[in-house]
Amino acid sequence: MIRPATVEDVETIVGLVQDLATYERASDRVQLDADLLRSALFDERPAVFAHVAEEDGEVVGMAIWFLNFSTWTGRHGIYLEDLFVRPERRGQGHGRALLVTLARLAVQAGYGRVEWSVLDWNEPSIGFYRGLGAEAMDEWTTFRLSGDALAGLAGEPD
């Protein structure tokens, strides 16, 4: 069963994010905690959303997403920040069901796309996504400002 996340799911989702970071060899970079996630998902005007995959009353997977906007299409889209299913529950359709849910949300709302990033070494996920009909955006490179570089740029005069 796929459903929107509730406040009661926050601790479990934080654990899933930590598991994902471990899988992606970046567990030392996770700063998320339950308070931050609770605030992001359930503030008066949330800008981040989550759905969970539940089996027999247990959350076994999650999708965390937010809206983006394409100036080329003139429409919003969904950016999937994280998709994760517990390793022992993979291959049972949970990841696909989470993506089907997001695709339906996008179509129903008139959004132009659902997009996400995947590590280039993550062949199982790449194969899974290609099997859904997703296309790699090989001509695009993701850039990020963070830490000292972000603070330094923010401190420059206009």
CATH topology for the 2-154 domain: Aminopeptidase (3.40.630)
Catalytic residues: 129
pTM: 0.92
Condensed to tens digits (0 to 9), the pLDDT of residues 87-103 reads: 999 999 999 999 999 99
- CB 102: neighbour CB atoms within 10 A? 20
Give the start-to-end residue ranges of the domains of the chain.
2-154
CB distance 18 to 30 below 8 Å: yes
Confidence band of 28 (pLDDT split at 50, 70, 90): very high
